[in-house]
């Protein structure tokens, strides 16, 4: 007796899209179904570690792809874990996979774009409906009786049916009743080509029936014997020299669902206290959920070629969560759990090895980012030149996508802080492009300059025009401009680079050290002295707003600016935390005034001293991207003066 079930609303929505979209690449359905079949075999292998009886005397796991021209069906069969009826109802009626949920949340409503997205994400089992108007699934879970099989049928609209069947073989058959416009898949050559393209690395044999030319019928006829059509050796286990770049790229696209080629990869057999194979890729494009720190890492864990888990976060530090790849350990037990992974010393060693490897890859890219010039270039062979040209600019591309997340490492990975610091790139008062390294900066430092100066702001324009930079500009001192949200937090972990302290120009008193000559210092002291009565009055007027008021040599053209004390959160960070709904300590800034400015000179004895004082403060706040506490009052004050 069959039973009707409704799809979960999200599945119905997804199916509607799958069945109504026009695809430029329909082939991906096969990749998805073979990948499910292979996962099912991996699951069986994993469960059988504890219960070898699950193999039911057929331990050779495989996937069969079979078509029937007359019935117009294409069937993908595996002898993996299989499904019980309850599991079929649950797994094929709801969306469990977070990737598919992600996908759903990105739908734009534009059919063409959404169809492309399906290709990129792959929507698993449901992609069968790209080519089929009806799908029948027959399955039996390993360990259950033959009578406990299930048949699941749906035409991809709102509902599906299930019924109990008898199925002797363990595992699952997915039978696609192909649409009229999908008859191209009733062709061995076509199927074989798709499998070669997308599923070659699957570590189980994918079998198809042999075909032979029949003279009488003058067509190819399927034979009774089967042969593997993929190479069935996990790519990472093959020697490097036998793997082409194209195969590496295909493999990457397979495990990452990224359309683009990766920027670079590194494939190694690591020997030492723990042995493992490592294949790591640096993607060219950041995923849309890069900023989700809870996102699982992109590295798959295998133990002796047996798939253990996706997203093995213990294998990569959080700031490298965007790295994709495979780790195959020879030493871990096959039944490792996530909890065990966290504590394993082998895993710790692998994680450190992975981190070092990624940093080395990045250093390599950074070194090759700019083309060699002059003699260094001439010395290269044509081949080397072509290679250099292909590598040039890759690090810049990488940094634009992942630079900000790499900075998290300063706070997370103290052991590699120096290596990370060398990889950082910034814009500066001398360069709009985010390409200035701390080493570049140091090499350009003025004689007598004792610190690496930087400023953090919301935008490049705000940073560049900030009043705090005036004296640096006047003296021709470069200042790094930082506009990533993580910058201030990250920089708080980096006190110095190569022996030179880093100093925010918006924190603490300016100490230009030897860059300021004796005369300037004396003049500044005198100004502060003679200005003391005005400062005292300012302090009194602004006692609720400013922690202190002092004369500064920081400013040239502006009358005033705000700074915070060394060690305090900057005004910008405090604002950002507030916007994010987080608790931020109340920062009371210090108002610094330029005693040479006409407006400031006017203060002394001015009848509306108090009003001017507030305007001065609020303007300084505006100049650095903040808003006066009471904007209306500010406007009123300015207008009163204008009138």
Helix 188-198, helix 28-47: angle, nearest 10: 60
User: Among 17, 28, 30, 37, which residue sits at the site for ligand ADP (rule: CB under 6 A)?
Assistant: 37
User: Among 27, 42, 62, 78, which residue sits at the site for ligand ADP (rule: CB under 6 A)?
Assistant: 78
Q: CA-CA distances (angstroms) from residue 490 to 285, 409, 417, 421, 461?
A: 22, 8, 11, 10, 21
92 lies in the binding site for ligand ADP (CB under 6 A)? yes
CB of 253 to ligand ADP, least distance (A): 17
Count other C-beta atoms under 10 Å from residue 454's C-beta. Answer: 23
Beta-ladder partners of 266: 280
CA distance 405 to 297: 13
CB of 376 to ligand ADP, least distance (A): 49
CB of 39 to ligand ADP, least distance (A): 6
Determine the interface stretch with ligand ADP among 120-128, 260-268, 477-485, 557-565 (rule: CB under 6 A). 120-128
83 lies in the binding site for ligand ADP (CB under 6 A)? yes
86 lies in the binding site for ligand ADP (CB under 6 A)? no
CB of 77 to ligand ADP, least distance (A): 9
CA distance 348 to 345: 5
Determine the interface stretch with ligand ADP among 90-98, 228-236, 317-325, 410-418 (rule: CB under 6 A). 90-98
Determine the interface stretch with ligand ADP among 123-131, 385-393, 514-522, 598-606 (rule: CB under 6 A). 123-131
Nearer Cβ to ligand ADP (161/520): 161
User: Among 93, 124, 325, 589, which residue sits at the site for ligand ADP (rule: CB under 6 A)?
Assistant: 124
* φ, ψ for residue 152, nearest 5 deg: -120, 130
User: Among 40, 538, 561, 615, which residue sits at the site for ligand ADP (rule: CB under 6 A)?
Assistant: 40
> What would the two tokens of residue 417 be?
């802080």
Q: Which residue minimizes CB distance to ligand ADP? A: 124
Determine the interface stretch with ligand ADP among 32-40, 245-253, 263-271, 346-354 (rule: CB under 6 A). 32-40
119 lies in the binding site for ligand ADP (CB under 6 A)? no
User: Among 9, 86, 96, 461, which residue sits at the site for ligand ADP (rule: CB under 6 A)?
Assistant: 96
Determine the interface stretch with ligand ADP among 91-99, 177-185, 448-456, 554-562 (rule: CB under 6 A). 91-99
Q: Are residues 296 and 246 in contact, defined by beta-carbon separation less than 8 angstroms?
A: no
CB of 24 to ligand ADP, least distance (A): 21
b/e for 499-518, b at 16 or more Cβ within 10 A?
eeebbbbbbeebebeebbee
Residue ranges in 581-640 that form contacts with ligand ADP under rule CB under 6 A: none
* φ, ψ for residue 473, nearest 5 deg: -65, -45
Q: Are residues 482 and 457 in contact, defined by beta-carbon separation less than 8 angstroms?
A: yes
Nearer Cβ to ligand ADP (89/528): 89
CB of 337 to ligand ADP, least distance (A): 19
CB of 222 to ligand ADP, least distance (A): 23
CA distance 534 to 532: 5
Nearest to 593 by CA among 563, 559, 625, 566: 559
* φ, ψ for residue 542, nearest 5 deg: -105, 20
User: Among 14, 48, 81, 206, which residue sits at the site for ligand ADP (rule: CB under 6 A)?
Assistant: 81
* φ, ψ for residue 177, nearest 5 deg: -90, 105
User: Among 172, 230, 344, 558, which residue sits at the site for ligand ADP (rule: CB under 6 A)?
Assistant: 172
Determine the interface stretch with ligand ADP among 88-96, 246-254, 280-288, 455-463 (rule: CB under 6 A). 88-96
Helix 394-412, helix 345-367: angle, nearest 10: 140
User: Among 80, 119, 298, 589, which residue sits at the site for ligand ADP (rule: CB under 6 A)?
Assistant: 80
CB of 75 to ligand ADP, least distance (A): 12
Determine the interface stretch with ligand ADP among 75-83, 153-161, 385-393, 554-562 (rule: CB under 6 A). 75-83
CA distance 278 to 288: 26
162 lies in the binding site for ligand ADP (CB under 6 A)? no
User: Among 26, 31, 45, 91, which residue sits at the site for ligand ADP (rule: CB under 6 A)?
Assistant: 91
CB of 86 to ligand ADP, least distance (A): 12
DSSP 326: E
Number of residues located near ligand ADP, criterion CB under 6 A = 17
Nearer Cβ to ligand ADP (136/516): 136
CA distance 109 to 115: 10
CA distance 331 to 311: 19
CA distance 18 to 338: 34
User: CB burial class (10 A; 0-12, 13-18, 19+) of residue 22?
Assistant: exposed
> What would the two tokens of residue 291 be?
């900023």
Determine the interface stretch with ligand ADP among 124-132, 284-292, 432-440, 622-630 (rule: CB under 6 A). 124-132
Q: CA-CA distances (angstroms) from residue 183 to 127, 207, 299, 565?
A: 16, 20, 37, 73
User: Among 72, 97, 106, 547, which residue sits at the site for ligand ADP (rule: CB under 6 A)?
Assistant: 97
Nearer Cβ to ligand ADP (7/185): 7
36 lies in the binding site for ligand ADP (CB under 6 A)? yes
What's the alpha-carbon Rg for the chain, to the nearest Å? 33
- CA 568 vs. chain centroid, Å, equals 30
CB of 472 to ligand ADP, least distance (A): 54
Binding site for ligand ADP (CB under 6 A): 36-37, 39-40, 78, 80-83, 91-92, 96-97, 124-126, 172
């Amino acid at each position: 007796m069959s039973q009707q079930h409704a799809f979960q609303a999200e599945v119905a929505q997804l199916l509607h899209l799958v069945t109504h979209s026009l695809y430029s690449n329909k082939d991906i359905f096969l990749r998805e179904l073979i990948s499910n079949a292979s996962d099912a075999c991996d699951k069986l292998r994993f469960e059988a570690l504890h219960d070898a009886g699950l193999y039911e005397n057929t331990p050779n796991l495989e996937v069969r792809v079979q078509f029937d021209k007359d019935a117009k069906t294409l069937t993908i069969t595996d002898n993996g874990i299989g499904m019980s009826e309850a599991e079929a109802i649950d797994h094929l009626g709801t969306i469990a996979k977070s990737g598919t949920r992600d996908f759903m949340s990105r739908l734009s409503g534009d059919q063409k774009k959404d169809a492309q997205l399906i290709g990129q994400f792959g929507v698993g089992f449901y992609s069968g409906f790209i080519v089929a108007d009806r799908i029948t699934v027959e399955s039996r879970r390993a360990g259950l009786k033959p009578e406990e099989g299930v048949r699941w049928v749906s035409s991809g609209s709102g509902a599906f049916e299930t019924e109990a069947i008898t199925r002797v073989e363990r595992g699952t058959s997915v039978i696609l009743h192909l649409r009229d416009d999908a008859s191209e898949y009733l062709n061995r050559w076509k199927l074989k080509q798709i499998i070669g393209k997308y599923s070659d690395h699957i570590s189980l044999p994918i079998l198809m029936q042999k075909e032979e030319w029949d003279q009488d019928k003058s067509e190819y006829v399927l034979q009774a014997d089967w042969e593997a059509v993929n190479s069935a050796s996990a790519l990472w286990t093959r020697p490097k020299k036998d793997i082409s770049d194209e195969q590496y790229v295909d493999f990457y696209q397979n495990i990452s669902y990224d359309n683009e080629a990766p920027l670079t990869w590194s494939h190694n057999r690591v020997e030492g206290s723990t042995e493992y194979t490592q294949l790591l890729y640096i993607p060219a494009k950041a995923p849309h959920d890069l900023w989700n720190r809870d996102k699982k890492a992109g590295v798959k864990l295998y133990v002796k070629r047996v798939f253990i888990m996706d997203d093995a976060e213990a294998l990569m530090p959080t700031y490298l969560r965007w790295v994709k790849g495979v780790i195959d350990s020879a030493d871990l037990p096959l039944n490792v759990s996530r909890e065990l992974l966290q504590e394993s010393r082998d895993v710790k060693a692998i994680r450190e090895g992975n981190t070092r490897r990624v940093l080395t890859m990045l250093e390599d890219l950074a070194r090759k980012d700019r083309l060699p010039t002059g003699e260094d270039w001439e010395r290269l062979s044509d081949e080397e030149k072509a290679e250099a040209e292909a590598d040039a600019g890759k690090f810049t591309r990488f940094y634009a996508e992942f630079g900000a997340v790499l900075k998290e490492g300063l706070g997370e990975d103290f052991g590699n802080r120096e290596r990370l610091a060398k990889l950082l790139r910034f814009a500066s008062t001398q360069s709009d492009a985010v390409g200035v390294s701390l080493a570049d900066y140091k090499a350009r430092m003025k004689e007598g300059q004792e610190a690496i100066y930087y400023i953090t702001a919301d935008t490049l324009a705000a940073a560049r025009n900030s009043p705090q930079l005036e004296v640096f500009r006047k003296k021709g001192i470069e200042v790094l401009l930082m506009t990533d949200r993580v910058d201030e937090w990250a920089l708080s972990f980096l006190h110095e680079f190569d022996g030179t302290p880093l100093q925010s120009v918006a924190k603490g008193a300016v100490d230009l050290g030897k860059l300021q000559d004796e005369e300037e210092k004396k003049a500044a002291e005198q100004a502060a002295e003679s200005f003391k009565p005005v400062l005292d009055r300012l302090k009194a007027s602004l006692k609720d707003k400013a922690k202190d008021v002092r004369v500064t040599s920081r400013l040239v053209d502006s009358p005033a600016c705000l700074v915070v004390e060394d060690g305090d959160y900057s005004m910008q960070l405090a604002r950002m935390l507030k916007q994010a709904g987080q608790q931020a300590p109340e920062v009371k800034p210090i108002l610094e005034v330029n005693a040479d400015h006409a407006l400031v000179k006017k203060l002394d004895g001015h009848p509306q001293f108090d009003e001017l004082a507030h305007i001065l403060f609020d303007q300084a706040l505006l100049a650095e991207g903040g808003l006066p506490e009471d904007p209306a009052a500010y406007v009123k004050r300015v207008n009163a003066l204008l009138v």
